[in-house]
Structure 1
């Protein structure tokens, strides 16, 4: 019985490792070729497995993109948990989250994913098949709202401003589309943007 369980555990570990490798390679190919020019054949070839094996994990390119977004959202949630353990005040925790998300927000990878996400075809796809992403994003929003409520209760933030408006405003800071022109013109570095955007937000909600 124990031997059988160990065998299943090993197979599951191998499956998870193969799935992670497929996602890594798929992301690399998307970066090189763009979404529409990427084929499942090339992804399978680079991984070194049969195309049918890729399809066992991901039925199509759309599922790969959703899985990549879901993986990144999970990382955001892990970082949120870590920041809550390390920081003292609600504002410090929110600032840590803002800096973490901005650290990768302007990378080539993130901008590619953002452009994919904002395309009309992908918007329809995410509406149809992206429920897992909505669940993850709702968890991020809920965590931000809890920190804002904690800040209100402790006298840091303006209690007269509805938490839902604060939350949506904070999350709207995390759109790379909003700052593309400033970066393209070379006026600011990403760290300049996160510092000043954070100042505007937190000064605006101070008690």
Structure 2
């Protein structure tokens, strides 16, 4: 490797390191307040960079949100893969509860996901990245169904199931229970009921 190529590689590593610092700073702020209340200047201040530097890495707020969402969802993606490929047989309910628990425990992930799902004018690059995130859920559950023995329409059932579970969370997230644990219990009850219906329909 030439000196020039080593220098170029070092610059790329430094760029990726700065980008990672910005993403981690955004996620840190999302833990403290709703993500839609976090501006680009807030993230720049948290990361210790100028707004101009921040925009060189992320041309828009949506680009930053999606990159943060991609990173935040990587943990649950690994859990899905473990469920699909693990030695111990998992159930549709296991998959559903893993999905719901992650979104319930990670408020910023839930907020970003619903924002991106409902926004009707995402730029094409941003939409492409968001599609790649949703594909993690759809493909993961389709693979899971196929492993359980569903031979036909696994992808259609996957889309239907993920949409159903997501709809449960969105519908009851602000249910007028006084305590958060009651909201969680109700969402999980509906999730398990939905998983049971799919199990009976597809596997029996």
TM-score, L = length of structure 2: 0.74
Work out whether residues 22 and 43 of structure 2, in 8 Å CA contact, stay in contact via their aligned partners in 1: yes
Work out whether residues 70 and 136 of structure 1, in 8 Å CA contact, stay in contact via their aligned partners in 2: yes
In the alignment, the residues of structure 1 paired with residue 98 and residue 10 of structure 2 have an alpha-carbon distance, to the nearest angstrom, of: 34
Q: 1:179 aligns with which of 154, 172, 176?
A: 172
Work out whether residues 25 and 43 of structure 1, in 8 Å CA contact, stay in contact via their aligned partners in 2: yes
- CA separation of 1:39/1:182 partners in 2, compared to 1, >3 Å: closer, same or farther? closer
Work out whether residues 116 and 130 of structure 2, in 8 Å CA contact, stay in contact via their aligned partners in 1: no
**Number of matched residues?**
197
Alignment of 1:121-136 (within 5 A): 122-125=119-122, 129-136=126-133
Deviation (angstroms), 1:34: 4.4
Please give the root-mean-square deviation of Cα atoms over the aligned residues, in Å: 3.3
Q: 2:160 aligns with which of 169, 175, 199?
A: 169
In the alignment, the residues of structure 1 paired with residue 174 and residue 40 of structure 2 have an alpha-carbon distance, to the nearest angstrom, of: 34
Where 1:123 maps in the other structure, the secondary structure is coil
Q: 2:201 maps to which residue? A: 204
Structure 2 unaligned segments of length 5 or more: list them: none
Work out whether residues 73 and 133 of structure 1, in 8 Å CA contact, stay in contact via their aligned partners in 2: no
Q: 1:70 maps to which residue? A: 70
Work out whether residues 30 and 38 of structure 1, in 8 Å CA contact, stay in contact via their aligned partners in 2: yes
Structure 1 unaligned segments of length 5 or more: list them: none
Q: 1:189 aligns with which of 170, 177, 184?
A: 184
Work out whether residues 84 and 144 of structure 2, in 8 Å CA contact, stay in contact via their aligned partners in 1: no
List structure 1 segments (4+ residues) > 6 angstroms apart after TM superposition.
Answer: none
Work out whether residues 66 and 133 of structure 1, in 8 Å CA contact, stay in contact via their aligned partners in 2: yes
In the alignment, the residues of structure 2 paired with residue 126 and residue 101 of structure 1 have an alpha-carbon distance, to the nearest angstrom, of: 27
Work out whether residues 80 and 97 of structure 1, in 8 Å CA contact, stay in contact via their aligned partners in 2: yes
TM-score, L = length of structure 1: 0.73
Deviation (angstroms), 1:46: 1.4
- CA separation of 1:59/1:101 partners in 2, compared to 1, >3 Å: closer, same or farther? same
